[in-house]
């Protein structure tokens, strides 16, 4: 069961992170070769499909993440948290923040909480992916 949830987590992270990468690196440049009106139209032609899938991918990443967190965090030892527990907690905090923003946006129409542009989630996803690997190295 854990392995299946883990794989679903990875796919969801790929879909969510993949959109942010395409948006920040490529879609944001559409205005360079299209007029403002064309760029808005082109962006909307993509975003109408993005809105059907990407928020669900984020919520799936958060849901499966919480499931795995409960399974792998373990007991805090007498000499404090392990490096795995520290980095996983930071990663979970950032992931939950993104999830909270996404949930508010999807279900309550509240536009991104605290930070408005997609640059902020993009940077958080890069940090989360780094932490997701770094947490397995003990220091």
24 lies in the binding site for ligand HEM (CB under 6 A): no
Cα distance between residue 22 and residue 112, in whole Å:
19
| Long-range pairs for 17-25: beta carbons < 8 A, 24 or more residues apart | 17/125, 17/129, 19/50, 19/54, 19/57, 20/118, 20/121, 20/122, 20/125, 21/122, 23/118, 23/122, 24/118, 24/119, 24/122
Q: Shortest distance, CB of residue 77 to ligand HEM, whole angstroms?
A: 17
Q: Shortest distance, CB of residue 44 to ligand HEM, whole angstroms?
A: 24
Site for ligand HEM in 99-138 (CB under 6 A): 99, 125, 128-129, 132-133
Cα distance between residue 97 and residue 102, in whole Å:
9
Residue whose CB is less far from ligand HEM, 23 or 125: 125
DSSP state of 31: G
In the list 19, 61, 87, 122, the residue contacting ligand HEM (rule: CB under 6 A) is: 61
Residues engaged in binding ligand HEM (CB under 6 A)? 6, 9-10, 13, 16-17, 58, 61-62, 65-66, 68-69, 72, 88, 92, 95-96, 98-99, 125, 128-129, 132-133
């Amino acid at each position: 069961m854990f392995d299946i949830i883990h794989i679903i987590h990875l796919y969801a992270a790929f879909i969510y992170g993949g959109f942010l990468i395409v948006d920040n690196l490529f879609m944001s440049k559409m205005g360079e070769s299209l007029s403002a009106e064309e760029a808005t139209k082109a962006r909307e032609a993509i975003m109408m499909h993005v809105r059907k899938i990407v928020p669900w991918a984020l919520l799936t990443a958060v849901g499966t993440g919480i499931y795995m967190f409960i399974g792998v965090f373990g007991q805090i030892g007498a000499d404090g948290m392990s490096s795995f527990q520290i980095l996983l907690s930071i990663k979970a905090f950032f992931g939950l923040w993104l999830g909270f923003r996404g949930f508010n946006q999807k279900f309550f129409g509240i536009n991104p909480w605290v930070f408005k542009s997609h640059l902020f989630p993009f940077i958080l996803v890069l940090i989360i992916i780094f932490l997701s690997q770094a947490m397995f190295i003990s220091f």
